[in-house]
Chain A
């Protein structure tokens, strides 16, 4: 490319971007360092010096965070575990289940919408489009009533199903399925492959990158679906890590070390997952939008 990398404007941009990058990363840095500071180090008082780096890192905040225990009724009877561990497990459970269900349902539906001719197709598609056009959060109140009716009160499934039902995944997989050459499907049919066989052997390998994108996208959005979790889950043992941190902040508003330890526990796993699968994620965002 014929761009002048030495131009003053370019240099200015790079400097500005670097400064902004530091500012953007700072809250995260402040969470992690705050979580390992002791009571004296964490204070930020006018006239005194601020501990920008934790000079003597301590695990005390994490120990305190793990101190509160809850009952975990599993297959092997009830055990006592730290509440924070249960919250983390609940978040993982919600994200994994939402991810798995979304990938299965959306890839099947997306393929049908992209590659099959059937009566009512237009109606189904319009229904999905109209729902996408409406804000997710306005259905919070009726969802609470609905999950009570369905016996899902205080159940992690009351958070999983609405995430899976949101039609974004179907759209994304429809986009990816459009790239399947119809000749391949025709060839499979002539070879006598059944519908499921065709889906498994021909369609799946082609839409695999799409499934990767949808998987990571759903995982992260389910993890961060705070408003839904807030209205659905109240008991300590069904809380997610996000609700757990919010609870800590409400109850112990000045114990910053403890709150930051909770925030670190909630943020680090999801950031690692994002960094590992970043490639698919970027693809998902761009495919789910317009082709500019």
Chain B
């Protein structure tokens, strides 16, 4: 190089790059090994008939089979139903809680935020075992209260009913999903420009008007984020179902994620299950793409 300054800066830059990669190395190594590799493996396996005995390439056969499989179609419908019900319910409810508690004294606010977060922390297994007991036909609290209060003649088989079981799952999913959105909403409402709110109040706006005209638009990024994370979580709904109903009765509570688990770990059709995974990933990726657009829009202030 003729220009010594440029050569020097190139050396500096190369050194900086080397140092940066050393900083990144531990995270990157574990990430590539335990996230990227299995993703690629799953993708390639979905084009094979991989099972316990071996595998051979079958091109799109798994995908074609999926769309003719009544179990898959029913599970896909259940997944969509869960997303369609839980997303609006969780978003609206957590917004209401957030809007109600963010202006309370900080102690009271933390108290409520904490209570609604507890089911998330407790973990799906402990939460599900107690709900399963409460839903039990013979020993459950719901039937006890219902019968004692004269609401029903005899106990209902909540989890065994093709119509009701999925709603039982939706209730539990709801209680374990609202914690994070509430935290996000409380934080977002706390960041709304106070001067705008005060100006509106001086102009004689009612609480209701202030909310829709000023607060609602400024927490829009949070709402979109809440919608996206709740959708992603609902699409992946699995632990509750595996523990509560095992997809029953007759696949009426099975979701794509549950069917994937059953196909892979009960009947060992890895290739077919991976094809379900790829479809689920594609759908969720669409939602995630939206999430990251929202995130980037939100952080470039």
Contacts and interface: CB of A to CB of B under 8 A. Distances in A.
B261 A245 contact: no
B31 A141 contact: no
B24 A46 contact: no
B207 interface: yes
A120 interface: yes
A224 B124 contact: yes
B235 interface: yes
A267 B123 contact: yes
B161 interface: no
A278 B235 CA distance: 28
Interface string A125-141: 00111011111111111
B34 A143 contact: yes
B180 A285 contact: yes
B41 A142 contact: yes
Interface stretch (A59-67, A70-78, A111-119): A111-119
Given A50-B144, A224-B123, A275 B23 contact: no
Contacts of A165: 30-31, 33-35
Nearest to A249: B129
Interface string A158-201: 00011011110110000000000000000000000001000100
A177 to B, nearest CB: 11
5 contacts: A2-B201, A20-B97, A112-B24, A133-B285, A139-B39
Interface of A: 1-3, 7, 9, 13-14, 17, 20-21, 24-25, 27-28, 30-31, 34, 43-46, 50, 101, 104-106, 108-109, 111-113, 116-121, 124, 127-129, 131-143, 145-146, 161-162, 164-167, 169-170, 195, 199, 220, 223-224, 226-227, 230-231, 242-243, 245-246, 249, 254, 256, 259-260, 262-264, 266-267, 270-271, 274-275, 278, 282, 285-286, 289-292
Top 10 closest A-B pairs, CB basis?
A292-B188, A133-B288, A290-B298, A138-B277, A109-B27, A142-B38, A142-B41, A112-B23, A292-B222, A165-B34
